[in-house]
Amino acid sequence: MFSRPEKLSMYWKETTRQMIDIGIGSLVIIGLVSVFIGAVTAIQFAYQLGSSSIPKYYIGYIVRDIMIIELAPTFTCLALAGKVGSNIAAELGGMRQKEQIDALEVMGVDTTAYLVLPKIIAALTVIPMLVVLSAFMGMAGGYTACTVGGLVSEAEFMQGLRAFFDPYNIWMMEIKAFVFAFLLTSISCYQGFFVTGGSIELGRASTSAVVISNILILLADYVLALILT
Amino acid sequence: MIRIEDIKKQFGDQEVLKGISTVFEKGKTNLIIGKSGAGKTVMLKILVGLIQPTSGIVWYGDTNFSALNTKQRKAIRTEMGMLFQGSALFDSMSVEENVRFPLDMFTNLTKKEKEIKVDKTLERVELTGSNNKYPSEVSGGMQKRVGIARAIILDPKYLFCDEPNSGLDPTTSMKIDELIRNITAENQITTVINTHDMNSVMEIGDNINLVHLGELAWVGTRHEVMTNKNELLQDFIFASPFLQRLRDAANLNKNA
Ligand SMILES: Nc1ncnc2c1ncn2[C@@H]1O[C@H](COP(=O)(O)OP(=O)(O)O)[C@@H](O)[C@H]1O
Ligand SMILES: [Mg+2]
C-alpha cells in the first residue's frame, strides 16, 4: 500500500482560478470606489485651503499621498472584505455543509491546504495589484474633480502629483496591502471552513467574516501607522 | 473486508452508538439500515475516519485504521470511494471535471489516458453526453451517478454510500441500487450502504445490519428478512400499513 502524493498542478489551477475570481471580479468596485474617494478628497482639500496662502498645486500632492499611504490600501481592503471575504466564507461554508469538504477528505486530499492556501496566495498576489490600481484611480478621480470643477488648473494638479515624492510611501502602501489581504482571506477561510448547521449559520459566518476582517484591518492599519511612520 | 469492534460514539451526553461490532464483507453489498436519526451516517463516517469514535476499533483487513495517523490514513483513503447523501459534487466543476478530479489530483496519467478512463467510467454509470454540464444542471439521479463515477474512478477496494437513493423516484432508485450492486460484484469491492429504503433491503441486502437505538438489533441477509421473527426488524420493514396488509394477505394464503 502506498500513499499517492497530491499533484501540485491542481494547487496551481485552483490558485489561478482564485486570482481571476478576486482580481477580475473586483476591478469595477475598486475602480469606482477609488475614483470617488480621490475626487472627494480633492474637493474637500480645495475647500479647506480656501483663500489661504498654501499653493494650489498642493491639492495634487495631498491627493497622491493620502491615496498611496492610507486610502488605497485601507479602502480597497475594506471593500474587498465585503466582497471577497463574504464570498470565500460562503463558498467554503457551502462546501462544508454540502459535504464537499468531507468528499475531498475521504479521497485523501489535504483539505486545509487545498482549500485555503490557493486563496491566500491568490489574495497576496492580486490584492496588492488592486491597491496600486486604486491609488491611480484615486488620483485620476482627484484630477477630474479639480479640473472639471475649475478648482485648480490641469498643470497645477500635475505639478502637485510630481512634488515631494517619497518612494518609501509606496512600500508603506504595499506592506499594508499584504497585511490586510492576509487578514481578510485567512479570517474568511476560517469562518467558512468551520461552519456547522444550515443556511442561517452560513449567513452568519459570511457576516462575521466581513465584520471581523473590517475590525482587524482597521486595527492593523493603526498599528502599522505607528510602526511605519 | 472491514471489521468494527465495539464502536461507541457520544455527542455531548447523547449516546449515538452504544458498542457496535460487525463485519462488512468483500464483494458484497453490506447494508446499515435503521430509522432516521439511528446513527447510520455517524457510523459510515466513523468507518472512513471523518468522525472519531469515542472508543472502539475499525479494521481494514489486518490494519487497525483507528490507530493510524493522518498520513498513514491517506494510504488507505486512496483505496476508498464514497457517495454522499447529497452527492457532494464540486459546484465549480463540470460533470467531467468532477469525475476526473481524483485522476487529476493523484495520478500521472496523460490527458488522453484520463479522457479514456473518464469516458469509460461515465459509460459504466450510464451517463454519457452530459460531460460539460454543471452539477446544478443535471437531475438528482444523474448527480448520484456522477458521484458514483467519481467514487469508483480510482478503482477503490472500498465503496461507501450514504443513502444512495434518498430523494429519488422508485424507478431511478432501483437503477442506482442495481448499479452499485453490479459494480461491487464485478470489482470485488467491499461496499457499505446506509439506507432506510425497504426496496434496497430486499433487492441488494447481501449482509444487513439493523441499527436501533445505538445498538445492533439484527444481522442477516435479504433472504431471511421475510421469515425472521425479530420484532424490531419486522417493525422496520413493515412500517407502512400497505406492506403490513401485503404481508398479512401472503400469510393468509399460506395458511389456507
Ligand atoms: N456532529 C454531530 N454533533 C452532534 N450530534 C450529531 C452529530 N452528527 C450526528 N449527530 C446526532 O447523531 C444522531 C444520528 O445521526 P445520523 O447518523 O445522521 O442519523 P441517520 O441514521 O439518519 O443517518 C442524531 O441524533 C444526530 O443529531
Ligand atoms: Mg443519514
- The residues whose Cβ lies within 5 A of ligand 2, an ion, are B 41
Searching chain B, which residue's CA lies closest to the CA of residue A2?
B75
HEC string for B54-79: CEEEEEECCEEHHHCCHHHHHHHHCC
Domain assignments of chain A as residue spans, ordered by start: 8-228
Nearest neighbour of B88 by CB, restricted to A4, A17, A98: A98
Of all helices (H) and strands (E), which one includes residue A10? helix A8-49
Substitution target in B106, B136, B148, B160 with the highest count of A β-carbons within 10 Å is B106
pLDDT digits (tens, 9 = 90+) for B137-176: 999 999 999 999 999 999 999 999 999 988 888 898 999 9
The single residue listed with the C-alpha cell 476499533 is: B57
Q: Kindly state if the Cβ of B40 falls inside 6 Å of ligand 1.
A: yes
Cα separation, B148 vs B164, in Å, equals: 9
A60 neighbors A156 (Cβ within 8 angstroms): yes
Q: What is the pLDDT of residues B126-143, one digit of tens each?
A: 998 899 999 999 999 999
pLDDT of residue A172: 94
* pLDDT for res A3: 61
Per-block mean pLDDT, blocks of 10 residues, chain A (229 long): 77 95 93 95 89 84 93 95 95 96 95 96 97 96 90 87 90 96 97 94 95 97 92
Give the residue from A107, A114, A196 with the most B CB atoms within 10 Å of its CB, the best one to mutate: A107
Average confidence (pLDDT) over B71-83: 91
pLDDT digits (tens, 9 = 90+) for A14-44: 999 999 999 998 999 999 999 999 999 999 9
Predicted pLDDT at B212: 94
pLDDT tens sequence across B235-247: 888 888 888 888 7
Task: Tell me if chain B has a CB within 8 Å of the CB of A25.
Answer: no
- Residue B85 pLDDT greater than 90, yes or no: yes
Interchain contact B61–A (C-beta under 8 A):
no
CA distance B208 to B195: 10
- Does A108 reach chain B within 8 Å, measured CB to CB? yes
Residue % of chain B over a pLDDT of 70 = 99
CA dihedral B247, B253, B254, B256 (to 10 degrees): 140
| B83 close to A (CB below 8 A) | no
Residues whose CB is less than 8 angstroms from the CB of residue A86 and which lie 6 or more positions away in sequence, other chains included: A188, A206, A207, A209, A210
- How many other CB atoms are found less than 10 A from the CB of residue B125? 22
Q: What is the mean pLDDT of chain B?
A: 92
Which pLDDT belongs to residue A85?
95
Contact B104, A7 (CB under 8 A): yes
Closest residue, chain B, to A100 (C-alpha) = B88
Please state the domain extents for chain B: 93-149
Report the complex ipTM.
0.91
Q: Is the pLDDT of residue B249 over 90?
A: no
Question: Which chain B residues have a beta carbon less than 8 Å from that of A9?
Answer: 104
Q: What was the pLDDT predicted at A1?
A: 47
Among all ligands shown, which has an atom nearest to the Cα of B161?
A: 2
Q: Which atom of ligand 1 approaches the CA of A196 most closely?
A: 1
Ligand nearest to the CA of B39: 1
Local confidence band at B256 (pLDDT 50, 70, 90 cut-offs): low
At CA A202, angle to CA A197 and CA A206, rounded to 5?
150
Tens of pLDDT, residue by residue over B188-240, are: 999 999 998 888 888 999 999 999 999 999 999 998 888 888 888 888 888 88
Ligand nearest to the CA of B34: 1
Is the CB of B79 less than 8 angstroms away from the CB of A1? yes
CA distance linking residue A187 with residue A193, whole number of Å: 10
